[in-house]
Every structure is written in structure tokens, then in C-alpha cells.
Amino acid sequence: MRLEWIDDILAVLDNGSLARAAEKRLLTQSAFTRRVRLIEDSIGTELFDRRRKPVTVMAGVEALAPELRDLSLRLRKMHYRLKTSSSQTNGKMSIACQHAITTTVSPWIVRAMAQYDDMSVRVRSGNQDECMVQLLSGEVDFAVMYTVPGDQTAVFEKAFETRQIGSDMLVPVCAPSLEEIASSPQIPVIGYPGGVFLGQVFDRMIAPRFRADITIVAKAETALTLAAYEFALGGLGVAWLPRSLVAGALAHETLVSLEASLPMQALEIRAFRLRDGQDTQTDSIWHNILTDIVLPANLKRFPDAFSGHVQTVERTV
């Protein structure tokens, strides 16, 4: 059973049709349909119910979904370990960061890690769920993400070892032309989807603290903090953004803070790694580098010493 076949089956399960699954797998529908036929021919049985529209997986295959997901994860982890088994000190490290952290914090982490001789660092960017999947599958050595203070569950702590490496604040900002909007009964808001971390923070921690006489008017929604930042600069509405991201704009007064009138939320910047299966190199960096890293209070200026050590930066929406 090939990993890509498992992922194809799971794509149909997760997206509900061959067409949406093909889009998720970055294939045309005809190419994906041919691959589905190949999977069935190779296994020797029908996996997809073509009597239903849209086509979906057979009930028996759907019942195997937990095992397929587990197998996919284990195969990815094995692929990563085989890829890196030739040397525990191969000089390459991978980290996954939430989008805003990729922009503001990762340069300082990379600079600290690059103190190791011949070390190159690959930085991957995604939302919190994507970062966790990359960490669980072994695609990255560490993940660096925002958390809400005191918001970790026992299951979370059992699976991961975490270390706080900094702090931030989610603050309401807007263009100077909208500064008076804070005293208005209607607040135009640039929001985040409920399925992403900052959307959950807004829904759970910020929205309930608005005054009872305030109405939130959604003007735009995006999962990317950099897009929300640009929307705020353009005067579209109020956006809740990490202070580290908007420090320069606040200093140059292209954005203004409304934190005196509207609620804000403290955030922790935490590094994560799996509790099991660490090699000598990652363990050394965890204990000797991430322990001592010091993030500046103002992240307006980025270090230039790390640029030659970064292998690639990937951004996923």
C-alpha cells in the first residue's frame, strides 16, 4: 500500500467527493479518477461507491479511516527517519512556524540555531494545525507557535515537550482615519475563520469582553495575519494582530492601537517537540539553544546574519 494511495483515499473521505479530493491533491479530476482506478486495480477490489453522486468511499473503507490515518502518519515518520538516518549530525534542521511567527520571530530562532557550524535551517509556515501535523509526521524537528497562557490540556502535554521562548500580545489596531471608531456602537472588524488559532482566540477570549452596547460588523475575514495587517493599513477595519507584527507600523503611526478601548489578549510563544524519538542533534539544540534564546521586546528590525543559513521558506494557506 503506497502512501500516496492512502492519502488519496483519505482525501475523498475528508472532502466528500472525487472533485474536491482532486483539488485537495492538486490534480485534475480526470487524473485523480485514473489514479483511483489504479488503486482499485492494484488492490483487487472496489473502494469507491460509484452508485452514489457524488462518488464516495465504500462504507467498509470508511470504517478503516482511523487505521488509514495512523498508517499514513507512521509511514511519513518512517520516511523522515530513513531520510535522516545516515547521520545524526547532518547539519540540517527543520522548524514549522505559524504564519505571523515566521515573519517576526523565526529570524531570531534561525540566527541562534545557525551558531552551530555548517547548520542550515528550513523554515516551514502554516496554521497551527498544519504545524502540528508536520511535527507529528516527522517532517519538522520543532514547531514554534502561539498559545494562550494556561490553555494546554493534559493530552497535549503528554504528547509534546514544550518550552516558552517569548511572549506577545494580540492587540486591536486600525488606520489613523478610523481611530475614533473605538467609541462607536458599531466596530468594523477584520476577522479570522473560526477554524484557525487566532479565530478561536478572538471568539473565546476577546469577543466576550466587548461592551454590551457594541456590535461587531464583519468587514473581511482571512486566515493570514499578513493579509489582516494589509487590510488594517488600508482602512478596512479593526484587526487584532500580534504586537510584534505591528510594532513598526505603530511606531511610524501608519497604524494606531485601540487597546485602551477594546480588549486584547496575552499570548505565549512556545517551541514544541515530540517527547519521544529525539536524536543527538535535536536534543542538543533543544537544551542548549532554545533554552537560552532571547527575543527582543521590539521586533521591528530583523537580523541579517541568518540569511545564508536558511534553506527554504514555505508558505501554505
Pairing of strands 256-257, 186-191: unpaired
* β partners of residue 217: 188
CA angle, corner 233, sides to 173 and 262, nearest 5? 15
Query: Which single residue is written with the C-alpha cell 517551541?
Result: 271
Sequence-distant (6+) residues with CB within 8 A of 154 are none
Query: Which single residue is written with the C-alpha cell 540555531?
Result: 113
CB 144 within 8 A of CB 115: no
Phi and psi at residue 280, in whole multiples of 5°? -60, -40
Angle, helix 29-43 to helix 3-15, in steps of 10 degrees: 120
**For the CA atoms of 126, 64, 153, 169, what is the dihedral angle to 10 degrees?**
20
- What pLDDT was estimated at residue 87? 44
- What pLDDT was estimated at residue 312? 38
CB 229 within 8 A of CB 239: yes
Residues 278 and 39: their CA atoms lie apart, in Å, by 35
- What pLDDT was estimated at residue 153? 55
CB 94 within 8 A of CB 140: yes
- What pLDDT was estimated at residue 246? 93
CA angle, corner 96, sides to 189 and 267, nearest 5? 45
Q: What is the pLDDT of residues 84-141, one digit of tens each?
A: 554 444 567 888 998 888 888 888 888 777 766 567 788 998 888 888 888 888 888 8
- What pLDDT was estimated at residue 29? 82
> Please, what sign has the CA dihedral across residues 308, 79, 11, 200?
negative
Q: Which amino acid is at 149?
A: P
- What pLDDT was estimated at residue 36? 84
Residues 138 and 117: their CA atoms lie apart, in Å, by 23
| Structural domains for the chain | 3-74 (1.10.10.10), 88-163+271-315 (3.40.190.10), 169-266 (3.40.190.10)
Peptide bond into 107 cis (omega under 30): no
Burial (CB count within 10 angstroms: exposed 0-12, middle 13-18, buried 19+), residue 70: exposed
Q: Which residues of the chain have pLDDT under 70?
A: 1, 79-91, 115-118, 152-157, 277-279, 289-317
Angle, helix 65-84 to helix 3-15, in steps of 10 degrees: 140
Nearest to residue 163, comparing CAs of 295, 264, 307? Answer: 295
Residues 233 and 99: their CA atoms lie apart, in Å, by 18
- What pLDDT was estimated at residue 230? 95
Q: Other C-beta atoms within 10 Å of 20: how many?
A: 15
Residues 310 and 207: their CA atoms lie apart, in Å, by 38
